Structure 1
Amino acid sequence: MEHTQTQAPPQAILFQLLGGQIISRAIGLAADLAIADHLAEGAQEITALAAATNTNADALYRVLRLLAGFGIFAELPGRRFGNSPLSEPLRTDAPGSVRHFARWFSDPMRWGALGKLDYSVHTGRPALLDGREDKTVFEVFGEYPASVETFNQAMTSISMGSGHAVVQAYDFRPYRLIVDVGGGHGFLATLIAQAAPDAHVTVFDWPQVAEGAAVAIKQAGLNGRVTTQGGNYLESIPGPADLIVMKNIVHGEPDDGALQLLRNCRAALNDDGRVLVIESVITEGPEGNGARVMDIEMLFGPGGRQRTVDEHRTLLEAAGLRFERLIPTSETHIIEAVVG
């Protein structure tokens, strides 16, 4: 006998999607409480977990029960919980950990900005500027140091997850002078230096970020082949460079800012230099949904946008660069452009 799959009515599907807000917040809370870390050695009863996390046992049980229903943690008899394949990446020490990214998605400042999505849709401006039109996004963001720290930890964890995919997909060995624009704490730069033993890599970021990166880079022990420099990439980029790398940077800028950034790259490049724009590209079909979600993050967050290949090509050409190719990786996309 044939069994036909019954599709849920549209209302039921919408209700499930609307509940995603609660699920996202619950994941972030579990990450904040380091639940997966507490369960690293094995399952625990809810009262022990509550005592370890200074939470109410019944309330914590209800949150973990919700997440277990979606496969995040495993609910066991006796009100006990253990890790599951979906909760393991929430461990701080897990390969490709997403714990800090989950914490950022649930950060109070970001959560409040998301609640002002209507402001961004009405004005086309970042939600943080609601009532603060005399400020820049970075100035307002800087007023939340705890959120800045969470954001930096999240970006570092993303680099740890996708950085390996980038160096596996692209050959950095032909280049001698490489600049990692917006390189954060220098994780990708150190991976590039390890993959290209003859290269010198400069991490270029805001001065306060570059200072923090210097400590992490020193610990990598690359004999001075990775250095830091502070500055504003919308003003200039250090050169001359054979290759400029920008991972999850261009998407943070609106078109005019992205164009200025790319023009600064062109000015810093040698005549045969290249640029790598590393970020998710909007593609057709369901596989592009992740980039579409990130596009809304850019809308209410920094005021930037995710782009299609054609949109990237248009910006590159306006900046004096020529689109060369799109390189898919297991985690993101690499857009390669050359001077021209």
Structure 2
Amino acid sequence: MTRDHDVPRQGTRRPPRLENPLSTDELTTPGTTAEPGQEAAALMRLGDLVTPMSLRVAASLRLVDHLRDGVHDLESLARLTGTHQDALRRLIRHLVAIEVLAEPTPEHYAPTAVGELLAHGHPASQVGWLDPAHMIGRADLALVHLAAAVRSGGAVYERQYGRPFWDEVSADPVLGATFYDLMAHGQKVIFDEVARRHDWAGVRHVLDVGGADGDLLSTVLAARAEIRGTLVELPGPAARARAKFADAGLSGRAEVVAGSFFDPLPVSSDVITLSFVLHNWSDEDAVRILRNCGAALEQGGTLLVIERADDSPAKPEPGFTSGDLRMLAYIGGRERTYDEWRELARTAGMAIDSVSPALAYGARVLTLVGSPA
């Protein structure tokens, strides 16, 4: 005898019963019952979206900020974050499993050393890369359209959000500030190294092209009292650079000109700097920028390009390749290998004279000079 609710009704189909749903750690090769090999487990870890999204949710909810403020119990955390208590417990359970959080006593939590970096106020905070309320954390979510970027060869940020990346940075002052703050945080270490390690002997004037808020130029001028400088930037960052130079007491040695690097540059110089500019642009646009810089170089001058330059094509570095795909998805830009930089310089009528040892985050200084006629 059967009960009425055990009999499928006319015209309906009972959904399959999941007797023992498998986790990714339990997946087996179709048609076998053997345990998966190390290769399968490694592939599933690489393809896991749960962990990256869990970190982003934790950043967005400011979980670690609340823990650092002394709130450790589940009930209070759920109340402060406006979340479903059991769902939050399950999220935190995964964060404990991946050792971002710890659970010293039942349903009471604390950040690990890794988890501390999810605090907004931590000096080495990584929140800007993860929290969707920050520009880069937001932009990363456009990677769900990476397949479209690979098919088209162009950016997909607008596909996700309705307007291009740079338009968003310019139009939204809050998002724009998170972007420039994150870039400045990472680039400060690099710029300090450039100012300290590059040979500035005999340099009279530095023209910083597309130098954002002026961090590189201010670092160089502070280190070398004999050098004067000019920054060329769009009106928004140009205004911020003027204020920064004034605060640093550099206004008498640093001029700011609002303009575009796609137009002829307003002054000539014996040294021109391009720091993390060209990776934002396609090869065609990058050549236009390089040609304008070359035209503004004084006789015997040098162009310093500060970018990543991968020199190991046989074994690419994952940080380089992931950054390259981000540039594609965000803005249609690209990171470049040493060979690609050499070809780009050649196309623009220049040549790479030298390449510095690796700086922080894999950056290098590529010194370009005009090609012999």
TM-score interval (norm. to shorter): 0.7 to 0.9
Residues 187-227 of structure 1: per-residue CA shift (max 9 Å, x gap): 33322222222222333222112223333333333353344
SS at match of 1:301: helix
What is the match of residue 335 of structure 2? Answer: 306
What is the match of residue 330 of structure 1? Answer: 360
What is the match of residue 7 of structure 2? Answer: none
1:234–1:264 CA contact under 8 A, matched in 2? yes
Of residues 41, 45, 65, the one that matches 1:12 is 41
Bigger radius of gyration:
2
1:252–1:305 CA contact under 8 A, matched in 2? yes
Cα deviation for residue 163 of structure 1 reads: 3.0
1:230-309 mapped onto 2 (5 Å cutoff):
230-284=258-312, 288-309=317-338
315-324 or 62-71: bigger deviation:
62-71
28-37 or 260-269: bigger deviation:
28-37
Cα deviation for residue 170 of structure 1 reads: 2.4
Aligned mates of 2:108, 2:306 — CA distance in 1: 42
Aligned mates of 1:7, 1:180 — CA distance in 2: 55
CA separation of 1:278 and 1:59: change in aligned 2, threshold 3 A: farther
What is the total number of aligned residue pairs between the two structures? 331
CA separation of 1:137 and 1:30: change in aligned 2, threshold 3 A: closer
SS at match of 2:289: helix
Cα deviation for residue 264 of structure 1 reads: 1.0
Aligned mates of 2:188, 2:63 — CA distance in 1: 21
1:1-340 mapped onto 2 (5 Å cutoff):
8-19=37-48, 21-40=49-68, 44-103=72-131, 104-107=135-138, 110-128=139-157, 130=159, 138-139=166-167, 142=170, 146-172=174-200, 174-284=202-312, 288-327=317-356, 328-331=358-361, 332-340=363-371
Cα deviation for residue 129 of structure 1 reads: 5.1
2:164–2:331 CA contact under 8 A, matched in 1? no
Aligned mates of 1:164, 1:91 — CA distance in 2: 25
Residues 217-275 of structure 1: per-residue CA shift (max 9 Å, x gap): 33333353344332211223342122222222111111100100111111121112212
40-49 or 239-248: bigger deviation:
40-49
72-81 or 139-148: bigger deviation:
139-148
Q: If the length of structure 2 is used for normalisation, what is the TM-score? A: 0.76
Q: Which amino acid aligns with 1:250?
A: L
Cα deviation for residue 18 of structure 1 reads: 1.5
Q: Which amino acid aligns with 2:366?
A: I
Q: Which amino acid aligns with 2:156?
A: A
SS at match of 1:280: strand
CA separation of 1:138 and 1:43: change in aligned 2, threshold 3 A: closer
146-155 or 271-280: bigger deviation:
146-155
2:100–2:114 CA contact under 8 A, matched in 1? yes
SS at match of 1:291: helix
2:140–2:326 CA contact under 8 A, matched in 1? no
What is the match of residue 19 of structure 2? Answer: none
Q: Which amino acid aligns with 1:235?
A: D
What is the match of residue 3 of structure 1? Answer: none
When the two chains are superposed, the root-mean-square deviation of aligned CA atoms in Å is 3.2
